[in-house]
């Protein structure tokens, strides 16, 4: 029962950094991309902290922090996050390095560790991955591969996304996540920048059958994101992310 609970919360929440924007649009927006989905631009260096309370269950939450900076065409970053539950925890930390060959293409690789602890000593695993984004005018194609290698086996998650900017205020995001060769989730999201400082996000994910909404306020070098994620059976989760960008 304990293992089932931790496994279920991991699958629904993910141990990745708990960015509100990432969760609404269904794809990672770091890897040197900063707030690319919201603003359409790279925003480096950037430091960010986030917390998501899951389904209103006491002690069930995911928190984390990440930072990134660029050095010419190269970028480096670090991320750490922890999923806490009443029966155990799951912690992930990794480093990431990226390279932007031109305005049209960016790639990054990452490596780190993941530790799962359920009422006893933790089991560690190696985390590796690769991220790529191709920009073709108003459309960007994103691919992310995440591999967790444990003694008992290997988990491979592949996420494909398309970001289409319709005019200067609207962005549409489509995503599909694969577990090995099987599609486990598909999603769609809409980002609307109502004013220079405000953006609203809405999304739906059919893998968890969850509806997601968020507001992003950008003031000078700060960006505050707050979001609500509704699951028909498990209930409501709430998240907050605070980011600083130079």
SS (H, E, C) 203-217: EEECCCCEEEEEEEE
Fold of 2-245: Porin (2.40.160)
Give, as one character, the DSSP assignment of residue 180.
T
Q: Please, are residues 168 and 150 in contact by the beta-carbon 8 Å criterion?
A: no
Assessment of whether the complete model's pTM goes beyond 0.75: yes
pLDDT for the residue numbered 79: 93
The confidence score (pLDDT) of residue 14 equals 52
pLDDT at 129 over 90: yes
User: Average pLDDT, stretch 181-209?
Assistant: 86
Q: Of 4 and 80, which is predicted with more confidence?
A: 80
pLDDT at 13 over 60: no
Euclidean distance between the first and the last CA atom of the chain, given in angstroms as a whole number = 46
User: Is pLDDT at 196 greater than 50 in this prediction?
Assistant: yes
* Contact of 225 with 245, CB cutoff 8 Å: no
Provide the pLDDT for residue 8: 38
Q: Where are the domains of the chain?
A: 2-245
| Confidence check: pLDDT of 4 > 50 | no
Question: What span, in angstroms and rounded, lies between the C-alpha atoms of 150 and 137?
Answer: 40
Average pLDDT over residues 48-77: 89
For residues 199 and 194, what is the distance between their CA atoms, to the nearest angstrom? 6
Decide: helix, strand or coil at residue 87. coil
Task: State the pLDDT at residue 40.
Answer: 52
The pLDDT, as a whole number, for residue 137 is 84
Report whether the peptide linkage leading into residue 171 is cis, meaning its omega lies within 30 degrees of zero. Answer: no
Neighbours of 184 (CB within 10 A): 15
- Look up residue 111 and give its two tokens: 């490596």
Q: What confidence score (pLDDT) does residue 193 get? A: 86
3-state DSSP assignment of residue 199: strand
Q: What is the mean pLDDT of the chain?
A: 83
pLDDT digits (tens, 9 = 90+) for 19-53: 899 899 888 876 544 455 665 555 568 899 999 99
Please determine, for residue 15, whether its predicted confidence score (pLDDT) is greater than 80. no
pLDDT score of 34: 43
Per-residue pLDDT tens for 111-127?
A: 999 998 887 677 899 99
């Amino acid at each position: 029962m304990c293992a089932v609970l931790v496994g279920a919360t991991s699958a629904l929440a993910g141990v990745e950094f708990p960015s509100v924007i990432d969760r609404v649009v269904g794809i990672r927006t770091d890897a040197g991309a900063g707030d690319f989905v919201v603003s359409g631009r790279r925003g480096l260096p950037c430091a960010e902290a986030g917390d998501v309370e899951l389904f209103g269950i006491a002690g069930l939450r995911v928190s984390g922090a990440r930072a990134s900076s660029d050095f010419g065409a190269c970028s480096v970053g670090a991320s750490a996050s922890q999923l806490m539950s009443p029966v155990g925890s799951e912690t992930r930390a990794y480093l990431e390095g990226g390279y932007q060959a031109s305005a049209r293409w960016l790639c990054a690789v990452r490596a780190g560790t993941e530790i799962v602890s359920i009422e006893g000593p933790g089991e560690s695993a190696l985390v590796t991955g690769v991220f790529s984004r191709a920009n073709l005018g108003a459309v960007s194609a994103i691919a992310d591969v995440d591999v967790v290698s444990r003694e008992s086996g290997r988990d491979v998650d592949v996420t494909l996304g398309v970001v289409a900017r319709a005019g200067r205020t609207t962005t549409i995001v489509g995503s599909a996540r694969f577990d090995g060769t099987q599609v486990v989730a598909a999603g769609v999201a809409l980002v609307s920048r109502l004013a220079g400082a405000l953006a609203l996000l809405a999304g739906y994910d059919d893998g968890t059958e969850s509806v997601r909404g968020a507001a992003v306020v950008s003031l000078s070098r700060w960006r505050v994101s707050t979001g609500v994620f509704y699951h028909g059976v498990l209930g409501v989760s709430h998240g907050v992310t605070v980011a600083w960008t130079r």
